[in-house]
Structure 1
Amino acid sequence: MTNPTQAEKIGTEVQSFIDSRRSLMLSSLTIEGEPYASYAPFAFKDGEIYVLLSEIAIHALNLQANPTASVLIVEDEDSAKELFARRRVNYKVQAQHIETTSPGWEEGIKILSARLGNRIDNLSQLSDFKLFKLIPQSGRYVKGFGRAFTLEGTGTQGMGVSHLRDGHKRRESVTT
């Protein structure tokens, strides 16, 4: 476990990185238990991630049937210094479908609209669009080779941070 100052620094870095991204990769499970990867624009507040998904898209149906999913927020290839070590954060999440009649609907739509613009206001008026709150359960932040951290506990910054020190090792030479 890193010290509290280091954990705060990593948490701030993670939040700054998330602030710089506008879409995430979403991995969900189909009703048959098969993995399905997609993407969605997102917003966040208080360590929770919000997405507005159409039921026409498979990932919305998947999250309604199985709320366990994974999220990946990753640095663009074009701006990465190293393709094999792109900065990224991934989370195991629990999805909560927020009904249009609940108080959380208006708050979630406001959060998304503030970050993504008035397109959200238009989409939220369509009956096939569903609002989901993705609650991180744990995560991993990678900022380069040998610089990976486990984010322990809930929230986008985690409640604790551990540096993964047992990383890459050279393969022993095999002579024939």
Structure 2
Amino acid sequence: MTSERIAGRVGPEIKQLLDSRKSLFLSSITKDGAPYASYAPFAMGDECFYVLLSEIAVHAVNLQVNPVASVLVIEDEDSANELFARLRVNYQVEAHVLPVDSDEWQFGLDQLTGRHGELVRNLSQLGDFKMFRLEPISGRFVKGFGRAFSFSGKGLLGEQIEHMRDGHKKREQAEA
């Protein structure tokens, strides 16, 4: 199956998952090279994620020092059919701090306000909050056991998507 046909099939499912969640898990890297997991409310636009983070928060500091991060959007465990195979999409992203007086800042602010309400606009008025655009580089969409898709290139669906067919393998039995 071609990449376009796969994207046409799973693209709407990825969009539905992204639309159904209000926050994402964010894994950043500290200045010492240690991983740091957190979360943030998000919005989407221009094939990117937008997050408004206080520079007091560890993840905001990390993204400014090392702009490479990972984002996870995952089905709620309370509504999942199978806890071990929750619907999820993971992205490797590049983080960009947007200048406060830029059109990009305003676009991100409008997207976040539209999704999360006026509190976002109020927070944006505080001097310690920064707007980050998280640009996907690659990703993986998992629908369940043996139903995973990888994608590469920019955008929420990447430029190339393929079904991962190598799948799970049974553990070999030890010989007596």
Q: Distance in 2 between matches of 1:3 and 1:49?
A: 23
SS at match of 2:78: helix
Q: 2:143 aligns to what?
A: 143
SS at match of 2:89: strand
User: In the TM superposition, what are the counterparts of 1:52-71 in structure 2 within 5 Å?
Assistant: 52-71=52-71
Between the two proteins, the alignment pairs up a number of residues equal to 176
The one-letter code of the counterpart of 2:50 is: Y
SS at match of 1:133: strand
Q: Distance in 1 between matches of 2:11 and 2:75?
A: 17
Q: 1:106 Cα shift? A: 1.1
Q: 1:6 Cα shift? A: 2.4
Conserved? CA contact 1:86–1:144, under 8 Å: yes
SS at match of 1:80: coil
SS at match of 2:9: helix
Q: 1:3 Cα shift? A: 4.4
RMSD: 1.1
Q: Distance in 1 between matches of 2:10 and 2:65?
A: 34
Q: 1:157 aligns to what?
A: 157
Q: 2:24 aligns to what?
A: 24
Please, which runs of 5 or more residues in structure 1 have no aligned partner? none
Conserved? CA contact 1:2–1:163, under 8 Å: no
Conserved? CA contact 2:29–2:35, under 8 Å: yes
Conserved? CA contact 2:50–2:134, under 8 Å: yes
Identity %: 57
Q: Over residues 57-110 of structure 1, what are the superposed CA-to-partner deviations in whole Å (9 max), with x where a residue is unaligned?
A: 100000011100000001111001001000000000000000112221111100
Q: 2:10 aligns to what?
A: 10
SS at match of 2:149: strand
Q: Distance in 2 between matches of 1:71 and 1:127?
A: 25
Q: Distance in 1 between matches of 2:140 and 2:97?
A: 24
SS at match of 2:32: coil
TM-score where L is the length of structure 1: 0.96
Q: Distance in 1 between matches of 2:170 and 2:71?
A: 30
More displaced, 6-15 or 94-103?
6-15
**Within the alignment, does 1:86 sit opposite 2:93 as a pair?**
no
Q: Distance in 2 between matches of 1:5 and 1:76?
A: 28
Q: 2:37 aligns to what?
A: 37
Runs of 4+ in 1 over 3 A off after TM superposition: none
